[in-house]
């Protein structure tokens, strides 16, 4: 099978095609023929060892101090179950599935646990659309529903509201019943309003932290705001949730939880089967739609990485591994 591999940390040029043996599912695992996969900010940071805010050493200890331990990246995927291992009853060959594997999806085949973050693709979704969901939508779902416990009527500010996580955060906050304000560039404001934001802020002309509005939750999906700025516009019991954080944020978060006033919570997403199933349900019920910025052919993965690293996209960047033609926008 063909896989996109990297054996050293660096820029997109370190990613190389390679022929590898097709994996064999072990007990409790499934083998997925991958038709589409996402390129996410997580893939970029792992490939480049671009860990934020003093987390370089912990990041390297996790992924490989001198060279990557796992050479095939890719967490978001959609495809078809090709085979199942012993004891698997939840899936059968031929089932269309999507989910988040952490690693291994930038290949024609991958294995993962049948009890992992994987679910059936909702009817009507293409593989490209399904692959655009997991990383961004799972992050938004977990941060807003589980960590922030957003309630109907609360005011939620989403920073980076047009991006690969922020676009899903706007939709999920609306589903939870919140009043949503989205921060984005001027050219993306109408897009953010179409996703469900009642109000938008152009960060190029206005500093949202100087507003009089008080928010119950601020979800910064791009690392554009610090806790000091957030506190100016947080309600007395408000919560600041940064998706990206550094070592210096740890004592700030701990200190903020000891007294009264606005708090900051740090969280690392823990992708789950229940979460992916919830995404499928939200799609079926019409509360969530996949967001695709661009689709790249598999062999042009380096261009996809460059686009992700530019940090200016509307939704997900997807690799077309099976050469589907389903009408989604393709990079030219």
CATH at residue 314: 3.90.180.10
* Same-domain pairing of 32 and 114: yes
* Same-domain pairing of 171 and 238: yes
**162 part of a folded domain:** yes
**109 part of a folded domain:** yes
pLDDT tens figures, 226-285: 999 999 999 999 999 999 888 888 888 888 887 788 999 998 888 899 999 999 999 999
For residues 113 and 253, the model is more confident at: 113
Residue 323, pLDDT > 80, answer: no
CA dihedral 256, 262, 267, 271 (to 10 degrees): 160
The answer for residues whose C-beta is within 8 angstroms of residue 115's C-beta and 6 or more apart is 28, 90, 273
* Same-domain pairing of 188 and 308: no
* Same-domain pairing of 163 and 127: no
For residues 78 and 212, the model is more confident at: 78
**161 part of a folded domain:** yes
Q: Which tokens belong to 114? A: 């049948």
- 47-51, 52-56, 76-80: range with lowest mean pLDDT: 52-56
* Same-domain pairing of 165 and 127: no
Q: Measured between alpha carbons, how far is residue 186 from residues 129, 156, 323 in Å?
A: 26, 20, 34
CATH number at 149 reads 3.40.50.720
Q: List, as one string, the DSSP characters of 165-176.
A: THHHHHHHHHHT
* Same-domain pairing of 30 and 121: yes
pLDDT value at residue 324:
58
**169 part of a folded domain:** yes
**210 part of a folded domain:** yes
Total domain count, the chain: 2
Residue 312, pLDDT > 50, answer: yes
Residue that finishes a domain, picked among 264, 279, 298: 264
The conformation of residue 142, written as its DSSP 8-state character, comes to I
pLDDT band at 332 (very low <50, low <70, confident <90, very high): very low
Residue 179, pLDDT > 80, answer: yes
Distance CA 196, CA 177 (A): 11
Contacts 24+ apart (CB under 8 A), 188-196: 188/161, 188/162, 188/314, 191/162, 191/167, 191/314, 192/161, 192/162, 192/167, 195/161, 195/167, 195/170, 195/171, 196/170, 196/171
Selection from 42-46, 76-80, 328-332 with the highest mean pLDDT: 76-80
* Same-domain pairing of 53 and 169: no
**30 part of a folded domain:** yes
Residue 327, pLDDT > 70, answer: no
What range defines the domain where residue 259 resides?
A: 136-264
222, exposed or middle or buried, with CB in 10 Å at 0-12, 13-18, 19+? buried
Distance CA 3, CA 18 (A): 5
The answer for residues whose C-beta is within 8 angstroms of residue 17's C-beta and 6 or more apart is 2, 3, 4, 5, 299
């Amino acid at each position: 099978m063909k896989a996109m591999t990297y054996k050293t940390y660096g820029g997109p040029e370190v990613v190389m095609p390679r022929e590898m043996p097709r994996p064999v599912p072990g007990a409790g695992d499934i083998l997925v023929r991958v038709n589409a996969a996402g390129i996410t900010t997580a893939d970029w940071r792992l490939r480049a060892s671009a860990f934020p805010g003093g987390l370089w050493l912990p990041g390297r200890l996790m992924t490989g101090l001198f060279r990557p331990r796992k050479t095939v990246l890719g967490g978001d995927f959609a495809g078809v179950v090709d085979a199942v291992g012993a004891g698997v009853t939840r899936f059968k060959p031929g089932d269309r599935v999507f989910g988040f594997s952490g690693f291994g999806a930038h290949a024609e085949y991958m294995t993962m646990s049948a009890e992992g973050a994987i679910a059936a693709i909702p009817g009507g979704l293409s593989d490209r659309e399904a692959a655009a969901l997991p990383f961004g939508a799972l992050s938004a779902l977990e941060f807003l529903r589980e960590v922030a416990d957003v309630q109907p009527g609360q005011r939620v500010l989403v920073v980076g509201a047009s991006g690969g996580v922020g676009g899903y955060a706007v939709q999920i906050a609306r589903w939870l019943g919140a009043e949503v304000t989205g921060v984005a560039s001027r050219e993306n404001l109408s897009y953010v309003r179409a996703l469900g934001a009642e109000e938008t802020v152009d960060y190029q002309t206005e500093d949202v932290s100087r507003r009089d509005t008080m928010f119950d939750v601020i979800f910064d999906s791009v690392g554009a705001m610090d806790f000091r700025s957030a506190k100016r516009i947080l309600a007395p019991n408000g919560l600041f949730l940064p998706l990206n954080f550094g070592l210096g944020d740890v004592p700030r978060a701990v200190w903020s939880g000891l007294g009264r006033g606005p708090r900051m919570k740090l969280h690392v997403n823990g992708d789950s089967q229940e979460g992916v199933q919830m995404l499928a349900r939200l799609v079926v019920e019409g509360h969530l739609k996949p967001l695709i910025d661009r689709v790249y052919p598999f062999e042009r993965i380096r261009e996809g990485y460059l686009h992700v690293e530019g940090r200016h996209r509307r939704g997900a960047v997807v690799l077309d591994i099976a050469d589907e033609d389903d009408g989604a926008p393709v990079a030219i």
